[in-house]
Structure 1
Amino acid sequence: MNIKNIAIVGGTHGNEYTGIYLIKRMQRTQFQAKWNGLEIALMIGNPRAYEQCSRFVDTDLNRAFKNEDLLNIELPGYEANRAKVINQAIGPKGSSRTELIIDMHTTTANMGVTIILVNDHPYNFQLAAYIKHKLPNCFIYYTSAKSYTGEADHPFLNSIAPYGFLLEVGPIANGIVRHDILEQTSMAIGAALEFVSKTNTGECPMPTNSLEVYEHVRTVAFPIDAADNINGFIHRELQDSDYQPLQKGDPIFETIEGDTICFADEGVFYPVFINEAAYYYKKIAFSLTQKRVMKIKNTL
C-alpha cells in the first residue's frame, strides 16, 4: 500500500488550541519538506469557533460528517456548512482523494495520548501499533459507527478518508496551550508520518502482530433530578481513573445530597473521557470501553 495524500487538521473544536498552534507551527516551518513524497494538507477545522474560543458556533463540527448531513443543503448553521466545505476540500467522503486524515484534539480527561480509530481497516491498526511502539504509554481506543451511533455511518471528520485517526491528548483545560501536550501531540503525528513513509518504501517491519485495544461500549449519563438537571458529580475514586478497571459496586457518582451511586453493570469495564468538560451539555459523565487484544493482519 502506498499512501501519498494526507490531511492534518487542528481546531475541529475551536477551544482546543493545541492542534491550532501545531498547524500554525507547521505552516511557518518547513514541515512538509521533511516528509518527502507525501502531500500534506494543513487545515484549521473551525476557525470561527476558534475566534470565539468556543467548542462550536451552532453545532459540533465533529458530529457533522454523516453522508446524509453532507448531502443535505438545507441543514442550518455554520458547522453544517463548514463540514461541506471541508468535505469538498479534502474529500469527498466515500471517494476521498485524501487517503489519510489525522484530526488533532485535546481532552480535559486524564487520557494521556489516545489514538481513536473509527473503522477496522487493518492498515489503521498497523498504524496504531507503530505509534504505540514509538510511544509505549499511549492508548488505542476503537469506536465503530455502530457502537457509537447505532448506525453504519460515522459523524467524525476523519471518517472522510479510509485511513487515519482522531488524536486525543490530555488532561488540559480548554482554551489554553501547554508545552508538554504540544510535544506529545507532535510526537504522535511524527510517528504516524514515519510509519506512512516507511511503509510506502517497504521499509517498515510490523512491530507486533497483536494490539491492546479499548473498544467503545456506551456512554454513562450523570444522575439528574426531577427538573432534568445534573444532580451529582464524579466520585473522587473514579476521577482521573481513565483506562482503569471499573466493576460492579465501585463508586462512580456522589449526588448533591451527599449520597454515593455505585456502578451496577456486571463485568469489567474501562472508563474514558471521565468528567470531560465538553460533554456536560449532553449530561454525559464518561464512556465505557472493554479491553481486548486484537490480532493484526499484515497487509503491508
Structure 2
Amino acid sequence: MPGTVYVDPLHRVAVAGGTHGNEMSGVFLVKHWLKHSSQLERDTVSAVPLLSNPKASEKGVRYYEKDLNRCFTLDILSAPDSPDDPYEVLRAKEINRLLGPRGSANAYDMILDLHNTTSNMGVCLIVSRVHNAVEMHACQYIQTHLPHYNPRIYVYAKPGTDLYSVDSVAKCGLGFELGPQPQGVVRADILQKMKTVIEMTLDFINHLNKGMEFPAFETDTYQCSGQVDFPRSSDGEISAVIHPSLQDKDFSLLHPGDLIFLTLDGQSIPYSGEKPIYPVFINEAAYYEKKIAFILAEKIRVSVPALRRQTH
C-alpha cells in the first residue's frame, strides 16, 4: 500500500448544476443554493453554486447547440474564439476562465458536477482517473457514511485520452450521476439524495482542511472499457431495443450469451462479448444520439494511499 499523500487545503470549491439543462436535480439545487448560499458553507470552505448552462436550463433541454460536458478538452479550450463557435463552446471557455484555467495553479481546488440519468444507476460517483487521492477519498467518505445509498465509483476516462467534462477544469473534480429520473422531471427522492451527497462531500472537504487524516483503503471501481450501439438496419435506423432482462440492470454482471436486445419481431439478441462485463448507463435517453445503447465497464480493485492536509 502506497504512503500518505499530502495536499493543500481545498478552499475554492464550486458546485455546478444544469451542465445538462434537462437534468433537473442539479438545476433545482443550484438555483436554490444561489438564493441560500449559506447551505454550502462549512468552517473552512464556502462552495460557490454555478448554473453551468443557463440557456439549456431555461429551455429545459440537454444543450442549446452542443453538449457542454464534452467541451472542456484542451483542444477546445485553447482554440481561438470564432463567431461560428456554438454557445456551449463559448460557455466552456467562460467557465474555464472563471474556475480555471484548466491545469493551472489558479484553477479552483474542486468542482462538484451534478447530473441525472434515465438509467438505473442509483447513486453513482464519477471520477476521471483513480490516481487523484482527493477524489477517491471523497468517494470513500460518501460510501462509508451513506452505505444505504450503495454508491458506486465509475471511472469515465480511458487511459491516454483527454478529459472533457466541466469538473476537469479544477484541480480535483467529482461528478454525481443519480437516477433513474426522466429528463425534464424532478423527483423528490432523487433530489434529496443528491442534496445529501453534496452535503457529505462538503463535510469531507471540511474535515480534510482541518487536518483529519484519512487512512489508505482498497475499493472497487467500474472503469469504462467500451460501448455498445443498438442493432441497426441498412438505413441506420434502430432495429432492436434493450431486452427486458437487461433493462434496469446497471452494474449487474453481464455474461456472454445473456440477452441484451429484442427486435420488434420478438427475436432476442445475446451479448457476444468474450468475457463477463458490467453494463452501465443502460438505455440512457441522452445517448441515443451518440449511438450508445449501454456502456461497458470493468470492475477493478484499486489501492488508494492515505490522505492528509499539507502543513507548512
Query: TM range, normalised to the smaller chain?
Result: over 0.9
Is it true that 1:54 corresponds to 2:61 in the alignment? Answer: yes
1: CA distance, partners of 2:39 / 2:109: 16
Q: Match for residue 240 of structure 1?
A: 248
Q: Match for residue 153 of structure 2?
A: 140
Q: Match for residue 191 of structure 2?
A: 182
The SS at the match of 1:281 is coil
Query: How many residues were matched structurally?
Result: 295
Q: 2:98 aligns with which of 89, 97, 104?
A: 89
Q: TM-score, normalised by structure 2?
A: 0.91
Distance 1:100 1:205, change over 3 A: same
Instruction: Give 1:291's aligned amino acid.
Output: K
Is it true that 1:63 corresponds to 2:70 in the alignment? Answer: yes
2: CA distance, partners of 1:70 / 1:131: 32
RMSD: 1.4
Where does 1:108-127 land on structure 2 (aligned, <5 Å)?
Answer: 108-119=118-129, 120-127=131-138
1: CA distance, partners of 2:57 / 2:43: 31
2: CA distance, partners of 1:33 / 1:244: 35
Q: 1:76 aligns with which of 71, 74, 85?
A: 85
1: CA distance, partners of 2:185 / 2:47: 26
- Structure 2, unmatched stretches of 5+, are 1-6
1:106-152 deviations in Å (ceiling 9; x for gaps): 00000000000012212211111111111221111012243xxxx53
The SS at the match of 1:31 is helix
Where does 1:103-252 land on structure 2 (aligned, <5 Å)?
Answer: 103-119=113-129, 120-136=131-147, 137-146=150-159, 151-206=160-215, 209-252=217-260
Distance 1:34 1:299, change over 3 A: closer
The SS at the match of 2:307 is coil
2: CA distance, partners of 1:290 / 1:102: 24
- Confirm or deny: 8 A CA contact 1:3 1:100 kept in the other structure: yes
Is it true that 1:20 corresponds to 2:27 in the alignment? Answer: yes
